[in-house]
Amino acid sequence: MSAFVELWVYLSATPLFGLTATLLAYVLASLIYERVGRAPWANPVLWSVVSLALLLKLAAIDYPVYFSGAQFIHFLLGPAVVALAWPLWQRRAALRQRAGVLLLAALMGGLAAGGSAVGLAWMLGLPIEVVASLAPKSVTAPVAMGLAEQIGGIPALAAVFSVLTGLIGAVTAKLLFDLLRIDAPAIRGFAIGTASHGVGAARAWQVHPEAGAYAALALSLQVLLAALLLPMLARL
């Protein structure tokens, strides 16, 4: 028994643990997601995060220990943001043809999402660092972290808000669009990419290729717009 405890203590402290646990949780959550017909509530990111968070709490493993392994996955977010150039390039014809409309929708959607988050948080009396961490929430996590830091938020909290925003979009957007009678996959995809970035876009991609392509386009536009405008707006 004590040999087993020692082995566990050793293994849970190596980077191997965080990396393996993350992949295992995600692969299992994805299998279940497939099994239930890709129902939005079964979102694999949601259940991976919940199960890993429970595991860390129950096994009393500190987040930095977990992150020493998970960082290898986290690292890929940077190159993934650069890789967004590819869907933008692929959609350049649509973008050029409809640049005005798409930019306007991206700008208004981004301002509405960020503005209402900040407004609500402020009205509800949340502390100023939390409010500043909410502002870049519709931008993909790695960029949100950098932006939050620039405008006086807490980067780690901004990243969590960003992931939660992605999950809210991925889980509830279908219902909202059905209520508003938004049927066109291109519009659904573009809206989900604007308001709930990568996690939402991944969901859109699985549901419909057209929606996925527009979600990727919207997500990259949102990164550019927020990176350009947010520091300027924060100064006002």
Return the structure tokens found at 218.
């919207």
Residue 174 binds to another protein (criterion: CB under 8 A): no
Give the contact letters, 120-139, x = binds to another protein (CB under 8 A), - = no: xx--xxxx--x---x--xx-
Residue 39 binds to another protein (criterion: CB under 8 A): no
Nearer to another protein, 5 or 149 (CB): 149
Residue (of 110, 106, 161) closest to 133 by Cα position: 161
Q: Can you say whether residue 127 is alpha, beta or left, with left for phi > 0 and alpha for psi between -120 and 50 degrees?
A: beta
Which residues in 83-122 contact another protein (CB under 8 A)?
83-91, 93-94, 98, 101-102, 104-106, 108-110, 112-114, 116-117, 120-121
Residue 12 binds to another protein (criterion: CB under 8 A): no
CA 166 from centroid of its chain's CA atoms: 4
SS3 210: helix
DSSP state at residue 41: G
Among 17, 147, 153, 217, which residue interacts with another protein (rule: CB under 8 A)?
Answer: 147
Which residues in 184-223 contact another protein (CB under 8 A)?
184-188, 190-192, 194-196, 198-199, 201-203, 205-210, 212-214, 216, 218, 220, 223
Residue (of 205, 229, 227) closest to 216 by Cα position: 205
Residue 41 binds to another protein (criterion: CB under 8 A): no
Residue 11 binds to another protein (criterion: CB under 8 A): no
The half-sphere exposure of 100 on its side-chain side, counting CA atoms within 13 A, is 0
Residue (of 194, 190, 196) closest to 212 by Cα position: 190
**Least distance CB 101 / another protein (angstroms):** 5
Nearer to another protein, 4 or 135 (CB): 135
Q: What's the chain's length in residues? A: 236
Nearer to another protein, 7 or 231 (CB): 231
Nearer to another protein, 5 or 96 (CB): 96
**Least distance CB 125 / another protein (angstroms):** 7
The half-sphere exposure of 2 on its side-chain side, counting CA atoms within 13 A, is 0
